[in-house]
Structure 1
Amino acid sequence: MTIRAQGSFSANSVEAVRTASKQGLGLAMLTYWDIQQEIREGSLRQIDFADALPEQLSITAVLPTRQRVPHRVRLFVDRLEAELQKHNAGSTGTASSTNEPA
């Protein structure tokens, strides 16, 4: 089955996407964490599109500078980077934990 998504709705708020989806405006790609209550209540349904997920997802950690980052934040970003690299060993993407110019 092929589904071609068409539409112009765009939002950077989970609440806006969740509300639009509940109002029948289309499909939403949200985490289970964000909609678990709606799934339990039956106001939203989970659809398994495992074969249709993007091959790569981009995760970006935006940090002001290395000198101003609290140690616990640096530890979290470094751990996140290591875990992502471990699980995406065959990935052609790159990961970087800093946004500083070289």
Structure 2
Amino acid sequence: MELPPEPSFTGWLLAGGSAAVVGTFLFILHASGMVRALAVFNIWWLASSPVLGWFFLFIYFCEIEWPYYALIIPISVIFQKMLFVGYFTVQGKTIILLQPLKCDGCH
């Protein structure tokens, strides 16, 4: 299994800036009264919704989703290699070590 591409900081920064511009534009439209359909919404919720949406997407994809794959995939690859070499075997829910594990670079 291959890691998904690392999130682009520049792309997320541009998207956040765009969300701020859209929020400002919505604030101006609501305050000026040019668009009557926006008058039913609270001005602060309306203006902050693009930035809040960007923030929650950023937290999900950059802080939860990608690090999860970055952590889980290498561990599973290591265990697959160790299973192939014969360091351990799995029987049911039990892992049985066949050889003592050594770490040559450990201090």
Q: Same fold (TM over 0.5)?
A: no
The structure, 1 or 2, with the larger RCO (C-alpha pairs under 8 Å, 6+ apart) is: 2
Bigger strand fraction = 2
TM-score by length of 1: 0.22
Bigger helix fraction = 2
